[in-house]
């Protein structure tokens, strides 16, 4: 199960590569209460209040709402596909700026892996602050130590809490369900 031959995929959307005004599916700005900012990068505790997403572009509801804070916001259809096999917690989300029959929840991914491999990922760092650690400015591929993966079908690395990673099996089930506003990028193809 935990071998380098296992294929993993970064959850993304083709819309993110398009001009902002040409988004097919809704994209939103996240508005958090002050006390919730402490939880933004620590997935464990969750948010104390419902997270508001104000839709500001796009033409149609999708099963995923991508947003300014890279929170994982999904429809009930996604939760149904994941039920019983994906370790998650959910939190309440309100969506404003549109009318839709879709109901959304925020997702806290409980699956984990560690050991980001900056050498294989060809990570490029830049020292922006003399006192702090260098900042990651780019990479060519996203590699990690597979022996640290807990076997979850959806997981994150602690250093990358908003990089949602799926197994090939989960990707296959999601494609079969024809979920919308979701694409899968092989980790070795992830670049910035």
Task: Find the helix or strand (DSSP H, E) in which 14 lies.
Answer: none
Q: Please indicate, yes or no, if residue 159 is contained in any of the structural domains.
A: yes
Determine the structural domain holding residue 175 and report its residue range. 8-189
Residue 143 maps to a domain: yes
pLDDT per position as a tens digit, 20-77: 567 789 999 998 877 777 666 665 666 777 889 999 989 999 999 999 888 999 999 9
Instruction: Scan for tokens 């690395």, then name that residue.
Output: 157
The predicted model scores a pTM of 0.87
Mean confidence (pLDDT) of the chain: 87
User: Is residue 3 included in any domain, yes or no?
Assistant: no
Q: How far is CA 186 from CA 6, 70, 101, in A?
A: 11, 19, 32
Query: Does a structural domain hold residue 2?
Result: no
Any domain includes 49:
yes
Total number of domains in the chain: 1
Residue 1 lies in a domain: no
Residue whose structure tokens are 């572009």: 57
């Amino acid at each position: 199960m935990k071998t380098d031959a296992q294929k993993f995929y970064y959850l993304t959307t083709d819309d993110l590569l398009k001009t902002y005004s040409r988004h097919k599916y809704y994209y939103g700005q996240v508005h958090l209460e002050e006390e919730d900012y402490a939880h933004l990068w620590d997935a464990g505790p969750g948010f104390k209040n419902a997270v508001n997403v104000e839709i500001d572009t796009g033409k149609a509801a999708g099963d995923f709402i991508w947003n300014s804070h890279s929170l994982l916001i999904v429809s009930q259809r996604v939760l149904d596909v994941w039920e019983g096999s994906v370790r998650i917690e959910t939190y309440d989300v309100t969506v404003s700026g549109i009318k839709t029959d879709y109901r959304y929840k925020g997702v806290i991914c409980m699956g984990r892996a560690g050991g980001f491999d900056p050498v294989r990922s060809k990570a490029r760092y830049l020292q922006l602050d003399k006192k702090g650690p260098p900042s990651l400015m780019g990479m060519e591929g996203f590699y990690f130590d597979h022996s640290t993966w807990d076997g979850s079908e959806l997981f994150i690395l602690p250093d990358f809490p908003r990089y949602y990673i799926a197994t090939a099996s989960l990707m296959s089930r999601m494609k079969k369900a024809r979920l919308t506003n979701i694409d899968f990028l092989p980790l070795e193809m992830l670049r910035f």
